[in-house]
Chains A and B, each alone.
Chain A
Amino acid sequence: MYELLKLLRDKAKESAKRHNPKRPVAYWREEDHLDGQIVRAFVGILRTRGCYWALTGGCTMCGYIKDAYMRDLDPSELRAQIKYLGEEYSGEPYVKIFTSGSFLDPKEIPCEMYEDVLSAFSDAKVISIESRPEFVKDETLKILSRLSDKFNIRIEISIGLESSNEQILRKLINKGFSIKDYVTAAKRVKKHGFLLKTYILLKPPFVSEFYALKTGINSALFALNFSDRVSVNPTVIQPYTIVEDLYRKGLYRPPWVFTLIVLLKRVKVERPEKVIVSYPMKKLKKEGLRGCDSCLKESISRIVEFSLTQRVEVLSLPRECPCYKLWLREVLISKRYPYLY
């Protein structure tokens, strides 16, 4: 499988378009939950050389390598991107600055650039960045901590844990780090007083519906021991990934929307003081969350409402719908038969 992964990456690299290195990948505005209230958020995605892990294989479900520039960028080009985003920014309190890799990877964004980023969004209350745990080092965190005090902006570091099951993480997702690495990084983040957000993947490849739910709940609860916020991401079928290959072979189907609802409900009830969010994509080129058309629309809007308000009452299941019964049966079958991916 890992050879195939490398092959797919090479294909992705070949088919990658020539991007303009002076423009970010994308930016948009959305709403999010922050400190008990709904706030406006600004999301900007910087184009960097790409996730080092993805370039040499990477995770089985991740296709973000398509947004990467693949070659080293000049600091001036990165500065142009930040400047561009800074001009578009209109004072939203919650800012998310992502790359298609790790923000804290010095090969993607040099440490000298952090000041540029923070100064571009100086009106923000919280700036959220993403990184793999191996780049969460004391030296980088010290620099960020100093800048955070200087600009009076809180910094949220997001780590993609995906699953707290070591076997799933290592074998099925091919994440490249272990739970121990995550815990070390998480403790380091908290030591420096940053906020921590953890991503959990709902239904990794080769995991059936029942075990997706089970391991999803376990992972979220595990992550909440360290994090202030957990974001649950249902798997999306992205090009040039193992998930897409499986999907074509008929061996992978995205999770049911009801699985996500049950997961959110269960985790929120267990840890009501923590923030748990999920923003499933509404527009998808390929199959997204499963469910009949009306249920899907209704359920996704409920999930978004829950994510913004954190009120567990809004989550409900349409118990009369035939597709709900279908989901129930699939969960039961996949308890015994785990190859129903």
Chain B
Amino acid sequence: MIIEPKAQHGLARHLIVRIRGEKEDITFETPNVVVYSGISNEGVPGDLFSFATSYKVHDKAPIMFPRADYIIYENKVIKRDNVGIILGQPKDYDNLKDLDIVFTIITRDVSISYRRTLATILRIRELMRDDAILYVSGHFKPESVPLLYYFGVDLVDDTFLINMPRGERIIQRLLKVSKIVRKLIDRRRLRDYLEIVARKSQYNASLLKIGEREHYKELERGYPVLSEEKTLMTVFEEAILRPDVRRFTERIEKYYKPPRTKRVLLLIPCSYKKPYSKSKTHRALKRVLFTVKNKYAVHEVIVTSPLGAVPRELEYVYPAQNYDVPVTGSWSEEEVKLILRLLRSIVKKGNYDAILAHVPEDYEFLSELGDVIFTAPPNRKITDDISLKLLANTLNETLESLEYVTREEYLKESAIGVLSYQFMDAYRNITFDSIRGRDLSNSRLFKGGFQVASFDPRRGYYSLSMHGAVMLARSKMFWVEIDDFVPKGSVFCAGIVDADERIREGDEVVVLHEGELRAVGIARLQGRILKEASRGLGIKVRHHV
């Protein structure tokens, strides 16, 4: 059996599975529905699988599951070659890494509780290899199947659905939904679709909410750090729970380093257009900043929902560059709490002389931060002449007493902000002595005359040169260990021996062989899949030795 991971979003994976049949190879894609009833030619044919119990012997089939009786009354893993059946709950010491397909049954008493459903699925998923297939049969609700896919189920079947009222239609619908989900995984937009699915029933809503709140760590691995798509729908308040949003806020709190030199913190509202600096409002503010003396001593932070607070230098980062949110002028309690939490952490880490806020009226909750000077007069747009003039005056006053910050210093500290977000603890290893470029979005970092990295506005990250890669390799983070060869175009999973599990799709990675640097590039899959999969494109190489 050959499994090729194509794309991942959350725990949902689009896999292409090729099975050697007797006459010809059989290919199917997951997530999918196994059809035993023969009512559709789509989906995975039931003839592919064969089960045996004490009264039934194996039929000949490409995939033969091991013999298992009383499937729910024992806690046991039964294996046969590379396929396995899980009875009850697996234990920690059960080794499921060698299995390609794992089959389990969800009973009705498990399925009526979303917590137990999640616990069962995620428990097995955690012990399995990341590119292996989880086949779940039994009592799931047909309308929550997209959510099950999101939480790591690859195959479901129609055996328990067929006897439901209008069973045939349910299965036809499920086949269609599976197809949609596969496409959405490819576009990394499954999560947006789930916001609609979650609204279909109370059960679904709880499944998504509880799942994302309690299993953030498992889900976050599967979120890329870049997106091809321009917008990301965050219409509803659960957007705060999105793993990619939560990753952003957690990294800001934990790893992001604000400028070290003394600054003035300027809080500004978000804009519809992304990145923010391309928007009309932000361009107007920029024109004002240009007129101010000592303008580089201003540290701009954009206040927004659901991301909380986005420092100016991180405006190209996913999801700051990609999200879209309807502005209603009202803030929920949870949003306010998040924004204040992030701003407090930035203020605490930074070195600020004063906090200015050039925001509309509905942002007045910012006053909870302490001495905040609101520069925009009430009842006025923040972009009209009077408001802007007031902002310029206040800025001039507060900046007068500050030490002069040079452009070079400003760019360097912005670059450190990006590096600390991108490489987390490893940012200290990436050192540079000069920075060139018109502004941050086309900046390049140099050390001793050699280029270390250049800014990639698509990801909001720095792309490393070979010199930068040497520095990153020393940090023991974002590494991939390969067999003994020199990669040129791409590195495939087949050649990867081991990988750092902290790698996310879109991250900058160094390719090593026994500690020796071979190449640097962008990860196309997350670290755990890179480590465990044996097929598929793993790393797009930029430079090699």
- Using a CB–CB cutoff of 8 Å, the interface residues on chain A facing chain B are 1, 4, 165, 167-168, 171-172, 206-207, 211, 215, 246, 248-251, 326, 329-330, 332-333, 336-340
Contact = CB atoms under 8 A, between A and B. Distances in A.
Contacts of A215: 55
A4 B55 contact: no
A215 B55 CA distance: 8
Interface residues of B, number: 33
Q: What are the 5 closest A-B residue pairs judged by CB atoms, nearest first? A: A250-B108, A167-B54, A1-B73, A249-B107, A333-B36
Contacts of A171: 54, 69-70
A172 B71 contact: no
Secondary structure dominating the interface of B: loop
A242 to B, nearest CB: 8
B495 interface: no
Nearest to B73: A1
Contact of B137 (A172, A326, A339): A339
B141 to A, nearest CB: 12
Nearest to B108: A250
Contacts of A333: 36-37, 46, 159, 162
A124 B374 CA distance: 105
A211 B51 contact: no
B160 interface: yes
Contact of B109 (A4, A172, A249): A249
B47 interface: yes
B46 A336 contact: yes
16 contacts: A1-B70, A1-B74, A4-B73, A165-B54, A171-B69, A172-B70, A211-B55, A250-B109, A251-B108, A332-B37, A333-B159, A336-B46, A337-B159, A338-B56, A339-B51, A339-B137
B475 interface: no
Contacts, number: 84
Interface string B39-63: 0000000110111111110010000
Interface string B396-437: 000000000000000000000000000000000000000000
A172 to B, nearest CB: 7
B140 to A, nearest CB: 11
Contacts of A172: 54-55, 69-70
Given A211-B55, A326-B163, A340-B160, 12 more contacts: A4-B73, A168-B54, A250-B108, A250-B111, A251-B138, A330-B162, A336-B36, A336-B47, A336-B50, A337-B157, A337-B159, A338-B52
Most buried by B among A4, A330, A340: A340
B75 to A, nearest CB: 11
A339 B36 CA distance: 12
Interface of B: 36-38, 46-47, 49-56, 59, 69-74, 105, 107-109, 111, 137-139, 157, 159-160, 162-163
A168 B47 CA distance: 25
B159 to A, nearest CB: 5
Contacts of A326: 162-163
Contacts of A4: 73
A222 to B, nearest CB: 14
B74 A339 contact: no
Contacts of B74: 1
A251 B53 contact: no
A211 B55 CA distance: 8
Contacts of A207: 55
Given A172-B69, A206-B70, A339 B162 contact: no
Most buried by B among A165, A167, A248, A336: A336
Given A171-B54, A249-B107, A250-B139, A330 B73 contact: no
A248 to B, nearest CB: 7
Nearest to A205: B70
B105 A165 contact: no
A1 B75 CA distance: 10
A215 B74 CA distance: 25
A338 B85 CA distance: 14
Nearest to A214: B55
Contacts of A251: 71-72, 105, 107-108, 138
Most buried by B among A168, A206, A330: A206
